[in-house]
Amino acid sequence: MLPTPLAKALAGLGPFVLDGPVASVLPPKPASIESRLGSSRRELRGAYRGTRDRVDRRGRGGPGVRVVVVGGGWAGIAASIVLAERGVQVTLVEKGDSIGGRAGAFEVRLEDGASFRMERSFPAIFPQYYNVRALLRRVDPELASLRRLEDYPVLAHDGTQASFGGLPSTPPLNLIALLRRTPFVSLADLRQLDVVAMRALLTFDPQKSYAEHDRETAGSFLDRLGLPSRARELLLRVFCHGAFRDAGTLSAAEMMSLLHYHFLGNPEGLAFEVPDEPTCDAFFAPFSRYLAGLGVEVRLGQKATAVHAARGDKLAVEAGGTIEADGVVLALDVRGTQALFAASPDLRRDTELAEGVQALCTSPGYFVLRLFLDRAPDPTRPAYAAVVGHGMLDGIALFDRLEGESRRWALRTGGAVVQLWAFGVPDSLGDVAASEALRSALEELYPELRQATVLHAEVLRDAERAGFGPGSAASRPKVGTPYGNVTLAGDWVKLPFPAALMERAAASGVMAANALLDRWDVRGEPVWTLPPRGFVASLAGLRFGR
Ligand SMILES: Cc1cc2nc3c(=O)[nH]c(=O)nc-3n(C[C@H](O)[C@H](O)[C@H](O)COP(=O)(O)OP(=O)(O)OC[C@H]3O[C@@H](n4cnc5c(N)ncnc54)[C@H](O)[C@@H]3O)c2cc1C
């Protein structure tokens, strides 16, 4: 039973509404109390328009409607699929030798000559990745390639282990259950929290929160909140992906959005899934075949160097030759987008957009170490664990318990494939020093691996992660541009609802395709979001801090 004041307040809950061109999210019928609490996904109303199913020979966008999609990560794949399924001729230009972008995998050679695929990022597919899942269902209708990890443990340096497994999925019951059992926050800590800051967290709203808190750093907001340092680190590392652990470089509004997206407003729970084979096999090879079946021309190893205005309202994309198109989706990473704008005076005609692109930033570098060990860790160790308060180490994944390729290697050798992550690693720290730091953190947490011999090690480091600095929301480019026939997509684009990483990339790709399809009066693809506002945002009658 819900306590009476809460039940009363729920009765006054309004519909979820976002401002902006594609942004009203209205449940069609009066919603049940459960769905008002946030236990269901929402379709973004207005995310697509158009009266026709596909471009055809009769309409304005008749034969030969061509779109060039630049960038073959989640964003570019999503845009290509949505466009090609509706009859648009799509050319996908990708500078790498395969699609998948940062979520893809690359081939490495082991000492014994065997080839092996290593992911650039950790492929956690959270249950609220609605748009990613809808795309994956095209190639894997039952999502059979995903396996669910029931727990999401967090290991602290003093041996404390917190678990996000088995929590109720409906907000705010998830928060209440977590607070009751977490060793990271005590009742006394909770009493010290600043009610005004707490209210701001619980009443997250995509417009209001950015208007009020984007200029503030996450660090100063957390100082005001008065969260104990362990809980603070948990929040930054787990919900803000470690990448933004330097709370001085992250906008407070973005931190609130991430916390809402992953936990406070997430109706699906935190138990995520991972593919059972490397992402190149599980996701991107099937997507390549699907795109080929739709007639998409995928040009790999081809870098787009500029985009110009061409005859009429056509565009010309320079990519090892000129490709003329009726529309362009720029689905590149931050640096790729900036380089393309710098080389394309026509893209910079709108000063506000050009300055917005110029102002984008990346977050500090990440470091990935994959170890092929001659022995396995204790069988009770979790397949994936986030790490808090242990130097640079942010996460440990035992890949042979997640993916078939690693499992087969482990069965063959009796060893284990362990991947370690660290975010915010300074360039000045060399590969050897960073690897040693991660290895020794691993051995402290999993002492049984102290005697393990490393049969092979792979290092990957980069800085290509979108940054969300204080004050960046005002100038952050959106999917639509003033040019109309150029749209933007990627995990850095401003969306009118909370989303993160792969899901942000996929959702923006769908929206970029929809915006172009609208020009030809073609209906686009539905876009899905969790309830965009915090569960207390609309609770009439509940007043915190009064
Ligand atoms: C270590 C790490 C761990 C991560 N873990 C997770 C996780 O657990 N869950 C999650 O959801 N996300 C995770 N991510 C983030 C996720 O990988 C990204 O958010 C997502 O893949 C971004 O997709 P995108 O399409 O926006 O960009 P990208 O994947 O970067 O795609 C952009 C593409 O554009 C191409 N390109 C660039 N310039 C040009 C040009 N001039 N011409 C042609 N092509 C060009 C690039 O080669 C690239 O393929 C992680 C990332 C890292 C680094």
The answer on 253 and 161 residing in a single domain is: yes
- Return d(Cα 497, Cα 476) in angstroms, integer: 14
Question: Domain tally for the chain?
Answer: 3
243 Cβ inside 6 Å of ligand 1: no
The answer on 166 and 135 residing in a single domain is: no
Give pLDDT tens digits for 361-414. 988 788 999 999 999 999 999 999 999 888 889 999 999 999 999 999 999 999
Q: 359 near 319, Cβ under 8 Å?
A: no
Which whole number is the average pLDDT over 270-297? Answer: 96
| Overall residue count recorded for the chain in this entry | 546
Cα(100) to ligand 1 centroid in Å equals 7
Q: pLDDT above 90 covers what percent of the chain?
A: 65
The answer on 456 and 416 residing in a single domain is: yes
The answer on 83 and 56 residing in a single domain is: yes
The answer on 237 and 193 residing in a single domain is: yes
Nearest to 29 by CA among 42, 39, 19: 42
- The confidence score (pLDDT) of residue 455 equals 95
Q: Which structural domain range is residue 377 located in?
A: 365-462
- The confidence score (pLDDT) of residue 58 equals 54
The answer on 89 and 35 residing in a single domain is: yes
Cα(417) to ligand 1 centroid in Å equals 23
Domain with 421 in it: what CATH number? 3.90.660.10
The answer on 125 and 22 residing in a single domain is: yes
The answer on 334 and 225 residing in a single domain is: no
* Closest CA to ligand 1's atom 49: 101
pLDDT at 62 over 60: no
Q: 530 near 265, Cβ under 8 Å?
A: yes
Nearest to 210 by CA among 12, 478, 544, 10: 478
E strand or H helix at 90: strand 89-94
Residue 473 in domain:
no
- The confidence score (pLDDT) of residue 410 equals 97
Q: Which residue has the higher pLDDT, 7 or 81?
A: 81
Give pLDDT tens digits for 297-353. 999 999 999 999 999 899 999 999 999 999 999 999 999 999 999 999 999 999 999
104 Cβ inside 6 Å of ligand 1: no
The answer on 129 and 196 residing in a single domain is: no
pTM: 0.91
The answer on 206 and 281 residing in a single domain is: no
501 Cβ inside 6 Å of ligand 1: yes
Test site for ligand 1: of 121, 287, 330, most ligand atoms within 8 A of the Cβ: 121
Cα(449) to ligand 1 centroid in Å equals 32
336 Cβ inside 6 Å of ligand 1: yes
Q: Which residue has the higher pLDDT, 30 or 111?
A: 111
